Amino acid sequence: MAVLDYSTINEYPTVKVIASVGTTQQEITLPDTARTITVGGDAIIYLVLSGVSDGAAVPTDRIEIPANQLLEVSLPSGKVQRIGSVAIAAASGTANAQFILEAK
């Protein structure tokens, strides 16, 4: 599985549809200018904020997003150290995920 590199995105909002996400981590690099990410899918999706490793098993420290729901996560700005990437994974089988980046 290859890392999805969104680090150069600078137009907001940006919507990405990620098809056939499996049960291992799909890493997504974030642009420095993104302040909010919103994630959801057509099946249960896990969002991993720490312990991100593309292709690895999903850690127990994760957020479960119910099918057909969206979860918004605010990212810090300023001098606070923030995460540079997140990962998503399907709880079982595969899922089609929506990944929204905003600068708000």
Q: Tell me, what CATH number does 45's domain have?
A: 2.60.120
Categorize the per-residue pLDDT at 98 as very low, low, confident or very high, splitting at 50, 70 and 90. very high
How many structural domains is the chain composed of? Answer: 1
pLDDT of residue 8: 96
- Given a cut of 80, whether residue 34 has pLDDT beyond it is yes
Report pLDDT for 80: 77
Alpha helices in the chain (DSSP H): none
pLDDT at 20: 97
pLDDT at 2: 93
Q: Which domain holds residue 72?
A: 4-102
What pLDDT, on a 0 to 100 scale, did the predictor assign at position 74? 95
